[in-house]
Amino acid sequence: MSSGLILAVETSCDETAVAIVDGGRRIVASVVASQVALHAASAGIVPEVAARAHLRWMIPVLDEARQRAGLDDMSRLEAIAVTEGPGLAGSLLVGIQMAKTLAWLHELPLVPVNHLEGHIYAAWLLDPGEPEKAAPEFPLVALVVSGGHTFLVEMADQLTYRLLGQTVDDAAGEAFDKVGRLLGLPYPGGPAIQRAAEAATACDRVFPRAWLGETFDFSFSGLKTAARREVARELGADPEQGPPDDAPPLPASSVAELAYGFQESVVDVLASKTIRAAQGAGARTIILGGGVAANSVLRARVEQGARSLGVPLVVPRPGLCTDNAAMIGAAGWFRARAGARAGLDLSARPSLKLALPQGA
């Protein structure tokens, strides 16, 4: 693969991130300023708060990334890549403004990148010093599971997507966050539920599985209702009414059991559908991406299925599954090669999609 340094900017949600990536694969520097602590108090993201935090951190994160990469001379760059969507409009605009300014100032091409494509291309990344390894082979099937998105796509080639299925209601990460909150766990719910579930000793709480027939679609909203019922039952309240507002915290053993049962349900459906899709597509690679792909139980379950199919699984390390700019640098390199360019009138596309539904 030929080289070409890309500086990438990502601010679509609650991480302010800048990375410098070589040849669509090798991370030279990647800096992420997380707003998790800021949003923990409100147990969710307040868009205005997120946008203001991006403004506060954009320049320091850029400076840090340039310093780590030893990038004094911006003319060494091939292009500036930036997330144009989907995401929060106010947050996206901070990164877009930064990228436009850099592109204009240093007379570099500006390359718009879809955030969801970034989560898939995280599978191409190599850390600094990591030994070379083969790039994912096509056709491939990718499961992207994040706080805002849950979908399965098939890729016959670079930048070519066929949507196989998606969530019909909540995203998987959203379900983790909502159920985490019901269980009295800290925000974000995903890592907290995974940790709590590790302490489960009795594992007989069975949460429903929404298989939705033979489709590759997902549904997670019923799980939140099931969790509400279980928590109320645990507290001796009416399951149909849910837990009372002034309910005491659940005992740690109940939290662990419920976290385990919930996680099993989500992982079972995600892993089964991914493996079935890979089998149907004759996939030569399976990719997992997005924040929920940081979940060790999901990773292990898909790994097991992939091994039985004899198909290699690529899951980026957890820090590259959650939002970062290196993944935008990887996707941006392939986009740049394909001739994608934006003008200085580039704007945020909060509802940008990756692919049309099958048959559309």
Positions in the binding site for Zn ion (CB under 5 A): 146, 323
CB of 272 to ligand KG4, least distance (A): 17
Q: Give the total residue count for the chain.
A: 360
Q: Which helix (H) or strand (E) holds 27?
A: strand 26-34
CA–CA separation, 101 vs 348, rounded Å? 15
Nearer to ligand KG4, 164 or 328 (CB): 328
Give me the least distance between CB of 46 and ligand KG4, in Å please. 15
Tell how many helices (H) and how many strands (E) occur in the chain: 11, 10
Shortest spacing between CB 73 and ligand KG4, in angstroms: 32
Residue 103 or 123: the one with the smaller Cβ distance to ligand KG4 is: 123
In the complex with ligand KG4, the residue whose CB is nearer, 40 or 105, is 40
Pick the binder of ligand KG4 from 22, 323, 336, 348 (CB under 6 A).
323
DSSP, collapsed to helix, strand or coil, labels residue 71 as coil
d(CA 249, CA 134): 49
Task: Specify the DSSP class assigned to residue 9.
Answer: E
Stretch 55-94 residues interacting with ligand KG4 (CB under 6 A): none
Closest by CA position to 151, among listed 83, 219, 89? 219
- Pick from 35, 97, 194, 285: which binds ligand KG4 (CB under 6 A)? 194
Q: Contacts with ligand KG4 in 110-149 (CB under 6 A)?
A: 146-148
The least distance separating Zn ion from the CB of residue 26, rounded to whole angstroms, comes to 22
List the single partner that 163 binds among ligand KG4, Zn ion, none, CB under 5 to 8 Å by kind.
none
Measured from the CB of residue 264, what is the shortest distance to ligand KG4 in angstroms? 13
Query: Which tokens hold the place of 347?
Result: 């704007």
Interactions with ligand KG4, residue window 287-316 (CB under 6 A):
290-292, 294-295
3-state secondary structure 266-325: HHHHHHHHHHHHHHHHCCCEEEEECHHHHCHHHHHHHHHHHHHHCCCEECCCHHHHCCCC
Binding residues among 164-183 for ligand KG4 as defined by CB under 6 A: 173, 176-177
Contacts of 141 (CB under 8 A, 6+ apart): 152, 153, 154, 155, 164, 274, 277, 278, 281, 283, 285, 286, 287
Report the SS3 class of residue 26: strand
Closest distance of CB 119 from Zn ion, Å: 6
Binding partner selected for residue 22 from Zn ion, ligand KG4, none, CB under the kind-specific 5 to 8 Å limit: none
Nearer to ligand KG4, 292 or 340 (CB): 292
Show the binding pattern over residues 9-48: x = contacts ligand KG4 (CB under 6 A), - = does not: ----x-----------------------------------
The window from 31-39, 189-197, 204-212, 344-352 that contacts ligand KG4 (CB under 6 A) reads: 189-197
Q: Pick between residue 102 and residue 329 the one whose CB is nearest to ligand KG4.
A: 329
Between CA 77 and CA 7 the distance in angstroms is: 7
From the list ligand KG4, Zn ion, none, partner contacted by residue 173 (C-beta under 5 to 8 A by kind) = ligand KG4
Per rule CB under 6 A, count of chain residues that contact ligand KG4: 19
CB 266 within 8 A of CB 302: no
C-alpha distances out from residue 191 to 185, 231, 292, 296, Å: 10, 20, 9, 10
294 contact, one of Zn ion, ligand KG4, none, CB 5-8 Å limit per kind: ligand KG4
SS (H, E, C) 112-169: EEEHHHHHHHHHHCECCCCCCCCCCCCCEEEEEECCCCEEEEEECCCCCCEEEEEECC
Helix (H) or strand (E) holding 79: strand 77-85
Residues that bind ligand KG4 (CB under 6 A): 13, 146-148, 173, 176-177, 188-191, 194, 290-292, 294-295, 322-323
